[in-house]
Amino acid sequence: MTVEEPLAPTTRRAARTGPIPTEPHDSEAGSTITDDTVPIEGVPVDEALAGTGPVDAAPAETLPVEPLEQEHELAETEVLPDGMLPAEASPAPDAPPAHVALAWLDEERVTPRPITQPTFVNQDLLAHRPRRSLIRAGVIVPTALAVLVVAAYTIAMLLWPLNAVEPTVSPITVEPAPAPATALPWPAEGSAAVTVDGIGGVPASSADAAAIASITKVVTALLVLDESPLAVGEAGISFRFSFADNLNYWSYRARGESALDVPVGGELSQYQMLEGMLIGSANNYADRLAGNWWPSDAVFADAAQQWLTSHGVPGVTIVEPTGMDSRNAASPAALITLAQKALENPVIAEIVAKRSVELPGAGLVENTNALLADPGVIGIKTGTLDRWNLLSAKDITVGETPVRLYAAVLGQPDEEARIAASRALYTQLELELQLKPSVPAGTVAGSVETEWGDQVDIVTAADASVILWNGGIGEVVTNFALEDSRTAGNDVGALSVTGPLDATTVSLRLADDIGPPDAWWRLTHPLELLGLD
């Protein structure tokens, strides 16, 4: 009896895969389903890696069923031995469901697909570039900041003070105008010399010495006062006179000499004796004074030469105290120096300026210098032998400055000639000493320059005039104080001119406005404005 094999259980797995052999035959070994037969090549890598369980625990529905069904069909058509009929399938007992690996995989998605060459699409990323709006924070904020910075810079530079770029002042050398050379009217006869006290230089028509006659008495007075000094107002020592002195006076007159009577039984002071000698040109007074200190003319002459040499009066020769000897001689220029020395002594200066004096014994004594009638003339001494001489001085005022002039005229033919020659020389001197601009108004004394290229001249506001003579020239000094001045006409300093006798100062002014820098310069020169250059 044939035992029929029980029919396989009709489960979903059995129906799909057929009966599962319990002991595989060798012939069926090749068709046994294993994990190695599962085609996983077609499973996408990202989906395989996305699972949460191991591959062998996947559900069975995802496994391929085609090989198992083929094996089942072969088993059903298997030929039985002769005489045997296929047994009717008996229902198999229900078997427990088996766990299928990779049951979670989608069967369609793990089906192998042919590998093809990938196709790359080149897309122009800028072909359809989106239009970005300008009204967004990334654009508005930087733009606004830039505008604010530019505006702040512009306002700051346009309003920044110019303290760090002050204009600079450059002095310009000013050459003062010299005084014209003198053109004096020298006398037709004799010789002459002149000078302006304090200026220097003694122009003379001749350097030859000539007899000075009674001008010698100036030397005598200087020597007497050197031996017996007097202050202004002092009388000095006294000199007594007798009848013999009166007789001596008449002897002088008989010889044609200038002399004054004396107070018989009376006395004259040293000061009065000097007055009679210098104003009345009394030879007897000169001899009496000299004889009181020097016993002879020779001794006096030696003393005179020593004094003249030690006091810087060269060119004068003295052999006796009165001037009656024609060997008493000097050049006109030397007499100018002598006159200056004489007027330095206040006692002599006081006496020679007097036009007359009352003396005991002599009465009213008139000054022999007729030039004293002219305003400003202050002496000094006449002298006459066979020619007429005059040594004089005159005080004038130039501007507001007192000026003293000296003139020595020798060898004139008469009294009128020596007066006229002296007056002509003084007139010319006064004309030449009139104030003339050493530095005229409008003279450029400096310039102001700015960093932005503006330039303005600094000029004198008025004439700068000092007393000059015979080619003399003043000394110019400029001082600048620009400070905040920027307008034409503003005072920005001073120019001073100093001459030998006086000095003057005039203002320095801006010739034009100092313009401010333009906006472009301000915006393009921040370092200069800020003082950082």
Has 436 been labeled as part of a binding site? no
DSSP state, residue 280: S
CA neighbor of 56 nearest in space, from 99, 13, 108? 99
Is 217 marked active-site?
A: yes
Q: Do 508 and 478 meet the contact criterion of CB atoms below 8 Å apart?
A: yes
Active site residue 394: no
Residue type at position 53 = G
Please give the Cα distance from 391 to 78 (Å, whole number). Answer: 184
Q: How far is CA 194 from CA 71, 204, 378, in A?
A: 165, 7, 15
Set 191, 205, 217, 394: catalytic member: 217
Assess contact for 390 and 419: CB atoms under 8 A: yes
First to last CA, the chain: 128
The tokens describing 134, both together, are 């300008």
Query: Could you give the angle at the alpha carbon of 313 between the alpha carbons of 499 and 352, nearest 5°?
Result: 80
Closest listed residue to residue 291, CA positions, set 239, 250, 252 = 239
Q: Can you tell me the distance from the alpha carbon of 359 to that of 400, in angstroms, rounded to the nearest whole number?
A: 38
The question of whether 170 is a catalytic residue gets the answer no
List Cβ neighbours of 360 (8 Å cut-off, separation of 6 or more): 263, 266, 267, 268, 272
What are the CA-CA distances from residue 242 to residues 43, 258, 272 (Å)?
A: 175, 20, 17
Nearest to 330 by CA among 450, 459, 209: 209
- Give the pair of three-digit tokens for residue 205: 């028509």
Structure token digits, residue 113: 């697909």
Instruction: Give residues with Cβ within 8 angstroms of 255, minimum separation 6.
Output: none
Asked if 17 and 95 touch (Cβ cutoff 8 Å), the reply is: no
Inter-axis angle of helices 216-227 and 297-310, to 10 degrees? 80
Cis peptide before 348 (omega within 30 of 0): no
Burial of 150 from C-beta contacts in 10 A (0-12 / 13-18 / 19+): exposed
- Bridge partners (DSSP) listed for residue 263: none
Alpha-carbon distance of 74 to 487, in angstroms, equals 128
Could you tell me how many residues make up the chain? 533
Q: Which amino acid is at 252?
A: Y
Catalytic residue among 281, 392, 422, 465: 281
The binding site comprises 381
The residues assigned a catalytic role are 214, 217, 281
Residue list, annotated binding site for substrate:
381
